[in-house]
């Protein structure tokens, strides 16, 4: 299953994890606590972990096309929510 990983440096990782998970939960199965979150979009999955200095994001999907869709949805929402901070998500293939 194709997968990707991103580590986004921010001191507000827990805040963004909660905000993303809550927002995704309106249309997808999403669970979270103050340190981690999981969303099943149906076409792929996202796992997030809040560290003190970064939001760690792991995504996976059944094929490359769906992986691109998950990457786009997660990155687009995080970058909009964190527009004041100017965050950007750089995906790397998961090892």
Structural domain including 68 reads: 3-91
State how far the Cα of 19 lies from the Cα of 15, in Å rounded to an integer: 6
For 35-81, the pLDDT digits (tens) are: 999 999 999 999 999 999 999 999 999 999 999 999 999 999 999 99
Please give the pLDDT value at position 95. Answer: 75
Domain count, the chain: 1
| Residue where the block lists tokens 């293939």 | 93
CATH of the domain at 41: 3.30.310.50
Retrieve residue 14's tokens: 């827990």
Could you report the per-residue pLDDT of 76-89, keeping only the tens digit for each?
999 999 999 999 99
Coil, helix or strand at residue 20:
helix
pLDDT of 28 reads 96
């Amino acid at each position: 299953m194709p997968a990707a990983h991103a580590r986004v440096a921010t001191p507000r990782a827990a805040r963004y994890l909660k905000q993303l998970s809550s927002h995704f939960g309106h249309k997808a199965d999403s669970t979270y606590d103050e340190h981690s979150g999981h969303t099943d979009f149906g076409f792929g999955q996202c796992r997030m972990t809040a560290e003190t200095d970064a939001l760690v994001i792991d995504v996976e999907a059944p094929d490359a096309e769906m992986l691109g869709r998950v990457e786009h949805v997660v990155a687009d929402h995080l970058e909009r929510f964190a527009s004041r901070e100017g965050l950007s998500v750089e995906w790397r293939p998961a090892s």
